[in-house]
Amino acid sequence: MITKRIFRVATVLAISAVVGSCNSEPTDQVVIYTALDEMYSRPILDDFERETGITVDVVYDGESSKTTGLVNRLIAESDRPRADVFWNNEVAQTIVLQERGVLQPYKSPSREWIPQQFKDKEGYWTGFAARGRVIIYNTELVKTPPDSIKDLCDPKWRGKAAIAKPLFGTTATHAATLFAAWGDDDTRSFFAELKKNEVAVLPGNATVRDLVARGDYAWGLTDTDDANGALEDGFPVAWVFPDQGEGQCGTLILPNTVALLKGAPNGESGKKLIDYLLSSEVEEKLAASRSKQIPLNTQVDTTEPNLGGIRVYDVSFNEIADQLDQSMRFIQEEFLR
């Protein structure tokens, strides 16, 4: 199966390079790059194939370069695009692609039911199926869990807590969010305190989950999908949304985003796939899966998980994206030095 998919992708990419920048005629194939874990995205894409007869060829990211690798690839390919659709597992890097002219607007009819704060008003991207940044902790090691990301700086947790490397995926977006919400000085001080407190910096959110679950670390920061997976697998863990008290900054809620690539070789098929991904049926499937994605489509009737009652950061996604370059330079040149 894997060999066949690799062959199909290679074939499609070769055809795309010959055909050129954009095919406006309907086709029976579509190429999608996605940063969402294969175990969650593949069943959705398989369902689309079965329901439409359109062949879906997928390029996934690597855990160690979450999202960033695909974004750089899309920028590099922008003169001769090979992909039609980008399904990102967060939003800041999607906005980077918009600003670099890699995307084209498409206002899917399905986006009508998505709240305005989770979609670009011009149609360059639309959010769906959100995740939250959460504290995951080992219940055998922690009796009273921390309730704030600032507890990473508490000396009682020295060497006992972990985060993913803040250069990739949702952790990179979280770091940029701190610069947008807290300002430059407070954010730099926070990361300096993380180093001082010997907070472990691990390759990815899944690694944070795994090492907390087996007791190598008492707690850490990860995403709701990773945290819930460890819980469903029977590990001694629990998770909480951080900073929910009065006067605290709130947690970061990040939607998946989907966008049509400028010059998409299979543009019409790409639009059909976007329509499908933004449907209430897909949000229901992702909410019911072990990833427990939080539905954004207001037509989805679900009580859990949902956005109600969650205190969130009071910054826009565009403000976060504006801080991404500065944040990543600081992380690479100073925090990880």
Query: CA–CA separation, 232 vs 38, rounded Å?
Result: 18
Residue 315 lies in a domain: no
Say whether both 120 and 223 belong to one domain. Answer: no
Domain harbouring 69, CATH code: 3.40.190.10
Say whether both 126 and 136 belong to one domain. Answer: no
Q: What pLDDT shows up at residue 10? A: 43
Say whether both 162 and 221 belong to one domain. Answer: yes
Say whether both 122 and 140 belong to one domain. Answer: no
Query: CA–CA separation, 291 vs 241, rounded Å?
Result: 16
Say whether both 242 and 265 belong to one domain. Answer: no
pLDDT over 90 at 195, yes or no: yes
Say whether both 33 and 78 belong to one domain. Answer: yes
Would you say 288 and 295 are in contact if contact means Cβ atoms under 8 Å apart?
Answer: no
| Distance from chain centroid for Cα 231 | 20
pLDDT over 70 at 18, yes or no: no
pLDDT over 80 at 62, yes or no: no
Q: What pLDDT shows up at residue 306? A: 76
Question: Residue 301's pLDDT band (boundaries 50, 70, 90)?
Answer: confident
The structure tokens listed for 14 are: 């070769």
Say whether both 169 and 279 belong to one domain. Answer: no
Give mean pLDDT, residues 201-223: 97
Question: Residue 194's pLDDT band (boundaries 50, 70, 90)?
Answer: very high
58-67, 86-95, 133-142: which range is least confident on average? 58-67
3 state SS of 222: strand
| Distance from chain centroid for Cα 69 | 13
Say whether both 329 and 213 belong to one domain. Answer: yes
155 vs 12 pLDDT, higher one: 155
- Domain limits at 50? 2-130+255-301
Would you say 116 and 287 are in contact if contact means Cβ atoms under 8 Å apart?
Answer: no
Residue 314 lies in a domain: no
Q: What pLDDT shows up at residue 26? A: 60
Burial of residue 247, with CB atoms counted within 10 A of its CB: 0-12 exposed, 13-18 middle, 19 or more buried: exposed
Q: How many domains does the chain have?
A: 2
Q: What pLDDT shows up at residue 65? A: 52
Give mean pLDDT, residues 288-314: 85
Residue 281 lies in a domain: yes
Q: What pLDDT shows up at residue 7? A: 38
Which segments of 67-125 are extended strands (E)?
85-88, 103-104
37 vs 62 pLDDT, higher one: 37
Would you say 5 and 22 are in contact if contact means Cβ atoms under 8 Å apart?
Answer: no
Say whether both 109 and 181 belong to one domain. Answer: no
Q: What is the mean pLDDT of the chain?
A: 90
pLDDT over 60 at 24, yes or no: no
Q: At what angle do helices 224-232 and 205-213 cross, to 10 degrees?
A: 30
Q: At what angle do helices 38-52 and 267-277 cross, to 10 degrees?
A: 120
Specify the residue for token string 């990815």: 204
